[in-house]
Amino acid sequence: MRGRYRDGSSFSLAGFYNRYDDFIDTEVVGFSSGGLMQFQYVNLSNVAIYGGEARGEWRFTPGWSLLGSAAYARGEDEDTGAPIDSVDPVRVIGGLRYAALSDIWGGELTATHAWRHNRVSDPTFFQAPSYTTLDFTAFYNVTPNLTISAGVFNLTDEKYFNSQDVIGVAADDPRVDFYAQPGRSFGVNATVRW
């Protein structure tokens, strides 16, 4: 279900329930001598994945808007009852955006919170902890064909892990910190359209 209003505000809601025969998942089989993760694809006979997503933007005054989204999914191997490791935990995003009425420049402050990835198929696996990050991005349209964007990411310099990066890694593996996301970082890019 989706809706859009005259002032530019919008929302969307979605729900899903999927059943799979021969679901392709990944399984960690070890590490190379250099510490690189080695994995293989495996087929799971019967899998169900279900959940929902919500997203919205409220333009409360010209140029300013509040943004939000949330995603929930749950996956299960129906033959064993084990969770599907590749299904992400709940994640919520909220932000404040400003865009000049001329749309020449603007910026956005975004907070992301992810729940702990505690639904893993083996209790010895590393469970990515919950985290909250804060990012700030800005853009400037130099010409109709050239946009410069810049951002400061993970403003609070939090140590965190994307659950997809640590699937199958043992909780006591001394290399687990290698999979952490970058701390505070900066980025600048240019987009040219023709």
Return the percentage of the chain with pLDDT > 70, whole number.
99
| Mean pLDDT calculated for residue range 114-131 | 95
CB 57 within 8 A of CB 67: yes
Q: What is the pTM of this model?
A: 0.87
State yes or no: pLDDT of 47 exceeds 80: yes
Residue 152 is predicted with a pLDDT of 97
Between CA 133 and CA 154 the distance in angstroms is 5
CA-based diameter of the chain, in Å?
59
Phi, psi of 124 (to 5 degrees): -85, -5
- pLDDT-derived band at 88 (thresholds 50, 70, 90) equals very high
Lowest mean pLDDT among 36-40, 122-126, 187-191: 36-40
